[in-house]
Amino acid sequence: MEEEQMLLGMLVFKLVESLKYLQPLFFQKAEFIKNLWLEKDEDLPNFVEKFMMYWMADDYDAFCQQVKAWADNHSQLYEEAFEDCVKTLILRDKQAYLLGIVKKFLDESDETLLIKQSNIQQLCNEIGDYDDVIYVNDNSFEQTHEGFEQLKKLSMAMCQHAQYLLTYLPTKVFKISVSEQITNAKGE
């Protein structure tokens, strides 16, 4: 019983520390995306708050135009600024999904936490991994060569992986480089 309480305490500690680590990273990336609009306009489009998988083609076009305007105002090359902004957008999605899973685990019963300790360990490992790395359970989105559609499917794959971490430990996990995905998405 004492061993179980120690294990439970360690799991809760890992989740709380993960939350403390993730929240500022998520808010930093979300603010960066918001500031693309707020520097030029007062209005923030509704789609900015949504995960990329819910963006429409017009939303993505508006995003690209705003990045171009931002790059022009900051004496940056559009291509470089675009890659930075898309990377920030993908990482915002990644961190939001992981943050949501951490919060859901913290709401679970002690019994569930003990049963899902492998999932929690995998979650903590992913949170602590290098920012450019994302995890998915299925890399079929890589076969799509439609730029924006590929990025939407990548966001969807991250969401699915987060749900897998919450419900059952995935048997096969793929490590994906965000930078590579951006290059693939724009490189046609």
Q: What is the DSSP string of 72-135?
A: HHTT--HHHHHHHHHHHHHHHHHHHHHHHHHHHHHTS-HHHHHHTHHHHHHHHHHHHS-TTEEE
Q: What average pLDDT does range 23-41 have in this prediction? A: 88
Residue 17 lies in a domain: yes
Predicted confidence at residue 54, as pLDDT, reads: 96
Same domain, 92 and 178: no
Same domain, 19 and 92: yes
Same domain, 150 and 134: no
Q: What average pLDDT does range 40-44 have in this prediction? A: 73
Q: How confident is the model at residue 170 (pLDDT cuts 50, 70, 90)?
A: low
pLDDT at 106 over 70: yes
Same domain, 103 and 165: no
Residue 108: CB partners within 8 Å, gap ≥ 6? 116
Phi and psi torsions of 43, nearest 5°: -90, 130
DSSP code for 50: S
Q: Among 100-104, 149-153, 159-163, 178-182, where is mean pLDDT lowest? A: 178-182
What's the CA gap between 68 and 150, in Å, rounded? 21
Predicted confidence at residue 10, as pLDDT, reads: 95
Same domain, 32 and 87: yes
Q: How confident is the model at residue 145 (pLDDT cuts 50, 70, 90)?
A: low
Q: Among 9-23, 33-47, 106-120, 123-137, where is mean pLDDT lowest? A: 33-47
Residue 123 lies in a domain: yes
Same domain, 83 and 131: yes
Same domain, 96 and 14: yes
What's the CA gap between 3 and 26, in Å, rounded? 34
Q: What range does the domain containing 181 cover?
A: 144-187
CB of 147 closer than 8 Å to CB of 186: yes
Report yes or no on whether pTM surpasses 0.85.
yes
Residue 30 lies in a domain: yes
Question: What percentage of the chain exceeds 70 in pLDDT?
Answer: 95
Same domain, 116 and 181: no
Residue 54 lies in a domain: no
Q: What average pLDDT does range 140-147 have in this prediction? A: 74
Same domain, 7 and 99: yes
Residue 181 lies in a domain: yes
Q: What average pLDDT does range 145-159 have in this prediction? A: 88
H or E element in which residue 176 lies: strand 174-177
In the predicted model, what is the mean pLDDT of the chain?
Answer: 89
Residue 169 lies in a domain: yes
Q: Please give the C-alpha separations between residue 147 and each of 7, 57, 79, 86, 183, in angstroms, as whole numbers.
A: 45, 11, 15, 11, 9
Same domain, 105 and 126: yes
Domain tally, the chain:
2
Residue 38: CB partners within 8 Å, gap ≥ 6? 44
pLDDT at 40 over 80: no
pLDDT at 140 over 80: no
pLDDT at 148 over 80: yes
What's the CA gap between 44 and 48, in Å, rounded? 7
Same domain, 121 and 180: no
Same domain, 152 and 130: no
Q: Closest Cα partner for 171 from 105, 118, 98?
A: 118
